[in-house]
Copies of this chain bind each other. A is one copy, B any other.
Amino acid sequence: MASELINRRHETDQPTADAYYPKPIKPWFTVTRPMRYMLREQRLIFVLVGIAIATLVFTIFPRSTQSTPYSDPFSGYGIRPDESYVPAIQAQRKPSLEYLNRIGATGGKIPLGLKRKGLRVVVTGGAGFVGSHLVDRLMARGDTVIVVDNFFTGRKENVMHHFSNPNFEMIRHDVVEPILLEVDQIYHLACPASPVHYKFNPVKTIKTNVVGTLNMLGLAKRVGARFLLTSTSEVYGDPLQHPQVETYWGNVNPIGVRSCYDEGKRTAETLTMDYHRGANVEVRIARIFNTYGPRMCIDDGRVVSNFVAQALRKEPLTVYGDGKQTRSFQFVSDLVEGLMRLMEGEHVGPFNLGNPGEFTMLELAKVVQETIDPNANIEFRPNTEDDPHKRKPDITKAKELLGWEPKVSLRQGLPLMVKDFRQRVFGDQKEGSSAAATTTKTTSA
């Protein structure tokens, strides 16, 4: 049977001379001239080879193609951070080998097979004013970002634009309770930062600062993560030294109405250094001076947000005391840049992160008047207890060791904040016209 099959096949192979074959139907694709050109000399194959190469490149060196484009809060405002403003990534000194080992970039402590793209970063207080801008930068860098927030002062609106991104997670959690997360970096920002909020429940403010920091330091120790504490210029209290340098021990009332925040943050620094000295945890401490920018709480009682909201609402600008007390105001993007350089750098700190540009309350009011409403009145009120008289950072250490200094002046940054506040205060879209009118008036700082 088998040989018969073979024979048959032979027969079909030879064409017989006189059999009638209708004119052959052209192949299913009518081969136009270019198509014929393509098929000759294996040109199509080479196209396929090219595709293969490109696919290979993209799988090995992923670009953050999937994450939604980072919505730069400064785009369209006619302001670009200065060219010399080298984003943290390029300026990144080579992280210590020991740290890289731990995060597995050089195949260190990470179990075999757990290849990972980017860093796993948790930001406590990540739905807050500063936290959400930090999250934007980390997402833009391609990290996996976990926001932990109890939404006491944080707002979902600040991070909603990341919700569709698989690299982004949000956990509603209060840091006074422990949490287990496998991460490489911990930015610990969670704490109410404005006097109105931290005085609201002082005992809780202390718990957040002390027990919250204990929990996150315990996590850092357990998973070998690098830990950054956002401390505050309030650790200097009502300073007797001016400007304040990091080695200054401060002049803080331990039993006043602000003590829950000042002492809470000082004790958080103490814990951070004790975990570093005693348990070898990699820590970083940033002392943040007054910061302003888009997404600030509108009514959190801080002077910049107060003045802007009042000017927009045509209310008098309330100045507490004689208005001669000074503060220095840094724009939020400068701060975030400083935090990331501190985290990626090799120095523990503490580091002052602030803008040395010092303003009295009355000078600030004047800038707000120029920016929003020249006719805004000023109303004086009695000052609050323990309100510091002067506050100005000495940022020599950050300049030298982190290569960082603020770039955005008050007159550059304030309009960005006003735009955001206007949308939120009035929710209207017509800000375009009045914003254009305002920009022409801004004089350089």
Contacts and interface: CB of A to CB of B under 8 A. Distances in A.
Interface string A207-251: 100110010000000000000000000010100000000000111
B270 A260 contact: yes
B237 A267 contact: no
Given A251-B249, A253-B249, A266-B263, A274 B202 contact: yes
A170 to B, nearest CB: 29
B203 A255 contact: no
A257 B277 contact: yes
Contacts of A266: 252, 254, 259, 263, 266-267
Contact of A214 (B203, B253, B260, B263): B203
B350 A255 contact: yes
Q: How many chain copies?
A: 2
A273 interface: yes
A270 B274 contact: no
A309 to B, nearest CB: 28
Contact of A255 (B206, B211, B254, B270): B270
A202 B249 CA distance: 19
Contacts of A274: 202-203, 206, 259-260
Contacts of A211: 210-211
B273 A267 contact: no
Nearest to A240: B240
A245 to B, nearest CB: 14
Interface in A328-351: 350
A32 B414 CA distance: 114
Given A259-B273, A260-B270, A210 B202 contact: no
**Chain A interface secondary structure, helix, strand, loop or mixed?**
helix
Interface string A346-387: 000010000000000000000000000000000000000000
A350 B250 CA distance: 21
B260 A263 contact: no
A269 interface: yes
A320 interface: no
A386 B305 CA distance: 40
A237 B248 CA distance: 13
A126 interface: no
Contact of A210 (B206, B235, B252, B350): B206
A259 B270 contact: yes
Nearest to A386: B249
Contact of A249 (B207, B237, B273): B237
Contacts of A270: 202, 206, 254-255, 259-260, 263-264
Contacts of A214: 203, 206-207
17 contacts: A202-B274, A203-B274, A203-B275, A206-B270, A237-B249, A249-B254, A250-B252, A254-B266, A255-B270, A259-B273, A259-B274, A260-B270, A263-B263, A263-B266, A263-B267, A264-B267, A266-B267
Given A210-B211, A235-B254, A252-B266, 11 more contacts: A202-B270, A206-B210, A237-B249, A250-B254, A254-B267, A255-B285, A259-B266, A260-B270, A263-B270, A264-B270, A266-B267
